[in-house]
Structure 1
Amino acid sequence: MSDSRAEDEAAIQAVLADSYKAWENGDAEGMVAGYTADATAIMTGSLRDGREVIRESMALAFAGPLKNTSTQNRQLSLRFVGGDAAILVSESGVLFPGRTEVPDAAKVNATWVFEKRDGRWLVAAYHNSPVLAPGQ
């Protein structure tokens, strides 16, 4: 791996680490700080079109059902597409207060699309889907 590719990987990891830390702190603004203005987030039953919409929905969630939560995340793969795009796949889940593990039925596989804009890696799109199909 070239030094620049290693630097790109480290920069992408830093964006994720900052976003996860902001989630843990209930900080919606910090959570989307590494997102493009036109980022999209697709989760079961919702399309959040734009960083501001994502921020607003996360602020509501952090004040309500996701209050005092964190996430558990495991990177499954990272591949670069050209010089300014990358796709990261992870397994994630919300860790609710009092829990030490995310139940398998609550885990999701997530696809993160990163774009390098003005020398900075940012989340351009996010999508998740349950690891287990309903009924499994």
Structure 2
Amino acid sequence: MSAPTYADETAVRDLYQRMLDAWGDSEAYAAFFTPDADYIYGAGGVQHGWKEIIDGHDVAFSAWARNSRLEGRIERLRFLSPDVAVLLCYGHVVYLDQRSSDQNKRTVYTLVAQRIAGGWVFVSYQNTPLGRQK
């Protein structure tokens, strides 16, 4: 078993950025996850697999997340093995039509990435809204 390389870290960071960039398109966004991924969103619900991730984001993108983009940053990236990485991230929904971004749209979340068939993909996501900032 070999150690993860700089290329692996770059690939996982690129996967993350491309996922952020796909925000607003349910199918494109879900494509960054495995077909059987677990997706826990901020309100505490769980989506299993592409269909549920797509359906849930279709609702979000037609309601509270319409006309928005997702900004985020990786706080920490750890490789648990050469083929599994955990990302600790912070994110924020930004509205492009000048609506106010309320505090519950600021989140901390974890993503688990796995190398499958030579490429990196997310297998799990867990999102928690940040408490009110003082």
TM-score range for the pair, normalised by the shorter chain length: 0.7 to 0.9
Contact map agreement 1:20 1:71 (CA 8 A) in 2: yes
Q: Deviations over 1:42-75 (max 9, x none)?
A: 1223101112210121122112221111112121
When the two structures are aligned, how many residues end up with a matched partner? Answer: 132
Per-residue CA deviation, residues 60-111 of structure 1 (Å, 9 max, x unaligned), is 2112221111112121000001111000001111112345995555311110
Distance in 1, Cα, partners of 2:130 & 2:36 = 27
On the 8 A contact 2:4/2:79 being kept in 1, the answer is no
After superposing on structure 2, the runs of 4+ consecutive aligned residues of structure 1 that deviate more than 2 Å are: 97-106
| 8 A contact 2:3–2:82 mirrored in 1 | no
The corresponding residue for 2:74 is 75
- State the partner residue of 2:18: 18
Aligned identity (percent) is 27
Residue 102 to residue 6, structure 1, CA distance change in 2 (3 Å): farther
Give, in whole Å, the separation in 1 of the partners of 2:130 and 2:81: 28
Name 1:89's counterpart in structure 2: 88
Residue type of the partner of 1:119?
A: G
Relative to structure 1, the CA distance from residue 3 to residue 99 in structure 2 (aligned partners, 3 Å threshold; closer, same or farther) is: farther
Q: Considering only aligned residues, what root-mean-square deviation do their CA atoms show, in Å?
A: 2.5
Distance change in 2, residues 1:105/1:33 (3 Å): closer
Q: Which amino acid aligns with 1:47?
A: V
- Residues 77 and 135 from structure 1, CA distance in 2 versus in 1: closer, same or farther, beyond 3 angstroms? closer
Instruction: Provide the secondary structure at the position in 2 that maps to 1:81.
Output: strand
The CA distance in 1 between the partners of 2:60 and 2:129, in whole Å, is 19
Q: Which residue identity does 2:62 align to in structure 1?
A: A
* Counterpart position of 1:51: 50
Offset, 1:4: 5.5
Residue ranges of structure 2 left out of the alignment (5+ in a row):
none
- In structure 1, what is the Cα distance between the partners aligned to 2:104 and 2:25? 26
Q: Is the 8 A contact 1:18 1:30 kept in 2?
A: no
Segment drifting more, 93-102 vs 116-125: 93-102
Q: Which residue of 2 aligns with 1:8?
A: 8
TM-score (norm 2): 0.85
